Amino acid sequence: MQLTTHPRFGDLLKQRIGLDAGSIGDAAIARAVRLRSTACGAADDAHYWALLQSSPAEVQQLIEAVVVPETWFNRYPESLTALVEVVRARLSRSTKVRILSLPCSTGEEPYSIVMALLDAGIPADSIAVDAVDVSEKVIAFAQRAVYGANSFRGDVAGLRERYFSASPQGEVLARRVAERVSLRAGNLFDPQALAGAQLYDIIFCRNLLIYFDAPTQERALDVLTRATHATGALFVGPAEASLLTRHGLRAMAPHAFGFYVGRAPVAARTVSARATPAAPRLRPGPGAAAPRAPARVHPVAPPAPPVVAPVVASPPDIDGLDALRRLADRGPAADALAACEHWLATHVPAAQVYGLQGMLHDSLGQPRQAEAAYRKALYLEPSHAESLVHLAALLAAQGDLEGARRLHARSARQERRHA
């Protein structure tokens, strides 16, 4: 049976963490509501909704139920290579570089940043990394800094020998790395999350924007760019690169997914989320740019990218995927979409299913939903061929020719590698 729940739960999550319910599917939110409602002993959705209105702690628990971390050490190594060059350039003019990692998840990204810089000979006392995530649970995990085999999936040659020591609980991170990172819980749309923080030289916000709708993406990018120095840089995920290109940011080296903010310096800059005039205070406002405030408001921290919480922690069911494709071929598309959503709510997320979702939305004339699905497929599998090609065509139809060109180039590189 397809899980459903009142849209007000999705509205609440959007207000608090910016999550676009359409980016993960209503069934994923319904499942989180069912999970927490059962845990609290609520009789039905109405009773659980009443509890949420009176308990900020339960709102946080609902957020935790939606957010599932997915990361590993040295993810996107080309980004870390580009980072080293940016830091070296910054240190030619300053004694310290300030970096923000958000969402930091269970800590693999901010710790990878420090390890890459230490490997490059950057002095430890010139590195300051703030790491922020909306999930208090993953922050606690990152502070513990003990990791299992799943965190070492990437290009980690020699990493364990240099920076970890074995223990019965797992691989323990070296103190000289952990002490360069300041971890805390925070929310992009909470203006008090990083009160007192200075501007950052570099911000890593990878695989965050794909979970926002277009107005919230605008709002988030405004906060992120205001939080960086005029000559600072942003690093994003592969599926988000065309979004920054569309906003006029200049890309770094190929495959780095890094962009120069490129603003002209100004005397007094502000760092703030756009405020709306009426409650709820954190609801995204219209796409129009907000005027700059006269006083400094400090940067805030965004949420972790929500990923559908799997019910069955197992590899994708190949027979099930084949059945989804056959259903999509037969039609109708709406039935196939419902089947995809149910599959994602009961299995580990799979790029093949998100790619299929994108094509079904395309066939129904739903470009926004199609783009979100393709980007989620590319988040899980950056080389997913079908999603690269179809998203490129979609962006071209929307007038984003540069974004389409970049995706076509990535697709061509994948074809050459497999030739």
Question: Could you report the per-residue pLDDT of 130-178, keeping only the tens digit for each?
Answer: 999 999 999 999 999 999 988 998 778 789 999 999 999 999 999 999 9
Cis amide leading into 299 (omega within 30): no
Q: Which two tokens stand for residue 164?
A: 């970890």
Ordered by where they begin, the domains of the chain are 7-66 (no CATH), 77-260 (3.40.50.150), 318-417 (1.25.40.10)
Out of 103-112, 383-392, 409-418, the most confident range is 103-112
What count of Cα atoms within 13 Å lies in the side-chain half-sphere of residue 198?
Answer: 11
Alpha carbons 53 and 58: distance in angstroms, whole number? 9
**What is the DSSP annotation of 257-301?**
-EEE--PPP-SS----PPPPSSSSTTS---SSPPPPPSS------
> Which helix H or strand E contains 18, and what residues bound it?
none
Is residue 322 over pLDDT 90?
no
The confidence score (pLDDT) of residue 146 equals 96
**What is the DSSP annotation of 104-133?**
-TTTHHHHHHHHHHHHTT--GGGEEEEEEE
Q: How confident is the prediction for the chain on average, in pLDDT?
A: 79
Lowest mean pLDDT among 162-166, 216-220, 306-310, 372-376: 306-310
Mean pLDDT of all residues in 321-328: 79
Q: Is the pLDDT higher at 254 or at 247?
A: 247
> Which helix H or strand E contains 390, and what residues bound it?
helix 385-397
Out of 11-15, 145-149, 240-244, the most confident range is 145-149
The confidence score (pLDDT) of residue 3 equals 52
Is residue 302 over pLDDT 80?
no
Sign of the Cα torsion 251, 253, 258, 263 reads negative
Out of 20-29, 171-180, 251-260, 329-338, the most confident range is 171-180
Is residue 225 over pLDDT 50?
yes
Q: Is 329 in a helix, a strand, or coil?
A: helix
Lowest mean pLDDT among 149-153, 262-266, 328-332, 382-386: 262-266
Is residue 284 over pLDDT 80?
no
The answer to whether the beta carbons of residues 210 and 372 sit under 8 Å apart is yes
Q: Is the pLDDT higher at 164 or at 30?
A: 164
Cα 98 to chain centroid, rounded: 20
The confidence score (pLDDT) of residue 203 equals 95
The confidence score (pLDDT) of residue 238 equals 77
CA distances from 387 to 371, 374, 394 (A): 9, 5, 10
Band (pLDDT 50/70/90 cuts) for residue 73 is: very high
Alpha carbons 262 and 389: distance in angstroms, whole number? 30
Is residue 310 over pLDDT 60?
no
Tell me the helices (H) and strands (E) count for the chain, helix number first: 18, 10
Between helices 385-397 and 367-380, what is the axis angle to 10°? 150
Per-residue pLDDT tens digits for 285-294: 333 333 333 3
The answer to whether the beta carbons of residues 354 and 387 sit under 8 Å apart is yes
The confidence score (pLDDT) of residue 194 equals 53
Q: Is 153 in a helix, a strand, or coil?
A: coil
Cα 351 to chain centroid, rounded: 16
Q: Which two tokens stand for residue 241?
A: 């690169």
Alpha carbons 72 and 257: distance in angstroms, whole number? 17
Give 93's DSSP letter. Answer: T
CA distances from 410 to 86, 350, 352, 413, 414 (A): 23, 20, 18, 5, 6
Is residue 354 over pLDDT 80?
yes
pTM of the model: 0.66
Q: Is the pLDDT higher at 188 or at 387?
A: 387
Band (pLDDT 50/70/90 cuts) for residue 4 is: low
* Type of residue at 239: A
CA distances from 122 to 9, 119, 140, 260, 343 (A): 46, 7, 28, 21, 46
Per-residue pLDDT tens digits for 249-262: 888 876 788 999 87
Mean pLDDT of all residues in 241-255: 81
Q: Is the pLDDT higher at 248 or at 98?
A: 98
pLDDT-above-70 percentage for the chain: 80
Sign of the Cα torsion 40, 42, 48, 52 reads negative
The confidence score (pLDDT) of residue 87 equals 96
SS3 content of the chain, % helix, strand, coil (to 5): 50, 10, 40
Pairing of strands 258-260, 228-235: antiparallel
The confidence score (pLDDT) of residue 379 equals 84
